[in-house]
Structure 1
Amino acid sequence: MDSALTTIGLPVALGIIMFGLGLSLTPGDFTRVGRHPKAVVIALVCQLLLLPALCFGLVLAFQLPPLLAVGMMLLAASPGGTTANLYSHLFRGDVALNISLTAINSVIAVITLPLITNLAVGFFAPGGEVLGLQFSKTLEVFAIVLLPVVLGMLVRRWRASFADAMDKPVRIASIIILAVVIAGAVVSNREILAEHIGSLALVTVLFCALSLTIGYVVPLLFKVGPAQSVASGFEIGIHNATLAIVIAQSVLGSVEMSLPAAVYGVLMFFVALAFGFAIRGRMRATAPAAAA
C-alpha cells in the first residue's frame, strides 16, 4: 500500500472507529463489572491466556510462514470491539457486560498487545521489528488504541446528545472503513494471499470458532449465567481485525503480517452468525429443562 496511506490513512481510519467506541462508553461501564465479577474475571483469563495459547498451537499445527504466524498472534492479542456488542444483542447476551469488557480490554491491550506480539516476533521471526519494548512504539499503540476512546468518552460526558446522534453514523462509517481497510490489505499483497489463502482461511475460521466456543463454554462451566456467557463468547470470539491490520502495517511496517486479520475480518461475520444460531438453539432446548 502507499506509504502515506499506511502511515497516515490507516491510523486515522482506526482512530475514527475507536472514537466511535468511546462515544458509547461511560465511566459506569468500567465500574459496572462489580455486578458480574466472576464473568469478567473468567472472560479476561480466556482473552489474555487461553486465546494466545490456542492461537500459538494453531500456528504451529498449520506451519505458517513467520510473518503470517506473527500476524495471527497479533490478531489473538487484539481486543474485541463494537461488532461483538451487536452480535450479543442479536442473540440475547448481556450487552452491558460486553460494553464493560470492551472498555477494560481496550485499556489492557495497550500493555498486552505489544507484549504478546513481541513474544511472537522473538519466536517466529528473530531479529524482526519489535513492538512495545521501545518507548516510541508504546506511545504509538497508546495513541492508536486508547487515546481516541478517551476522547470519545469525553465528548459523551460533555455533549451526550451529540454522542447519541453520532452513534449510528459512526457505526456505519466503521463498517465502511473496515471494508476498505480489509480490501486494501488484500489487494496490496494479493500474490502472497493467493499462495496462502487455503491455510489462512482454515486457520482463521478455526481460530474464530474455537474462540467463540471457549468464550461461551468456559463461563458456563463456572456457573456463569447464560446471558453473560453469550456476551463473553462474542467478546472473546470476535477480535478487532482493523486494529491488528493497522498495527501490522503502520507500526510494524508489514502488509504480509496484516493478512491473517484481513482474512479473519471477512470470515468472522459468517462464523459468528452460525455460532449465534447454534447457541440460540441450545438455549431454547435447555430453557424448558431449567423451568421444569
Structure 2
Amino acid sequence: MTVLDTRVRPTSSRLPRTRHYVMCPPDHFAVEYAINPWMDTAVAVDHSRALLQWDVLRNTYLSLGHHVDLVPPMPGQPDMVFSANGGLIVGDRAYGARFTFAERAAEGPAFAAWMRSQGLTVTEPGFTNEGEGDFLALGSMILAGTGFRTSLDAHIEAAATLDRPVVSLELVDPRFYHLDVALAVLDDGNGDTPADVAYYPGAFSRHSRRTLRDLFPDATIVSEADALVLGLNAVSDGQNVIVPSQARDFAEQLTDRGYTPVPVDLSEFLKSGGSVKCCTMERHR
C-alpha cells in the first residue's frame, strides 16, 4: 500500500484554493420518511430556519471566493438539498448516483441530467452508490465508504470511470452510514501541502482503521461527541474549514493544526442526518 506524505507542515503553509461547489436549494426540504437513524417524522422541520441556514452556508462559500452552481430542486424530493449524494465529479467526468432507497431514487437521474447540461461526461452507475456521501476525492486517490449505502462493486466502477485508484473503507456504525459523516478531507493534497484528513475511528471496521492509520498517520482523531453532531460533515478549501458550529472541540483541533474553522449552524438539516458536506458537492479538478 502506498503511504501518503502526511507530515504536518508549518501553519503558514495552509493556503486556500478556490473551489467550485454545487448546491440545491432546500425549497422542498422536510422529514417525510425515515431512512436513517437521525430521521424522525414526528420531529418537525422549521422550514424558514432551514432556508436561512442553507443561505448562510452558500454565502459563506461565496464570501471566501468560491464558485457555487445551483441545481433546481424537484417537488417531492425533500432530500435533494443534500447535493453531495448526487454523484462524483472529477475534471470533465462524472460518476452518477444510484440510491439505496426508493424515496430518493429520482434524485440520481435529476443530478445526472444537470451534470450533462454542464458539459460533463456522465457514467450511469450499474451499482448502488450515493455519490460524495461515500466517495471523497483526494488528488491521488478516492476514499470510498461501504457497508450501508454504497456497494464494493461501485468502488470498482468509480475507479474505472474516473481513472483514479479507490481505497475502500468499511463503515460499521449505522449512525455513520455515509463516509462523509465519519471522515472529513481537510487538505486534498492537490496543492503544495500533503493530503490531510480527520475521522472518527468508531465508525470504521478494525481493518479500515488500520488502513486509515497507514495512509494518514498524523490524521486528526475526532471524538464521538463531535462526530454525533456531524462535525466531520465539513468542507475545506485547504485552509478554511466550514464546520458545524456544535463541533466545538473539533474546531479547536483544526485551529491547532493551522486551519481556520468557519462554524455554521445547520441544525435543521441534522434532523435528516445531514450537514455542511451533505449540502455540498464539489467539482474536483
TM-score, with structure 1 as normaliser: 0.29
Q: Which has the higher contact order (CA 8 A, sep 6+)?
A: 1
Higher-Rg member (1/2) = 1
Q: Which has the higher helix share?
A: 1
Q: Which has the higher strand share?
A: 2
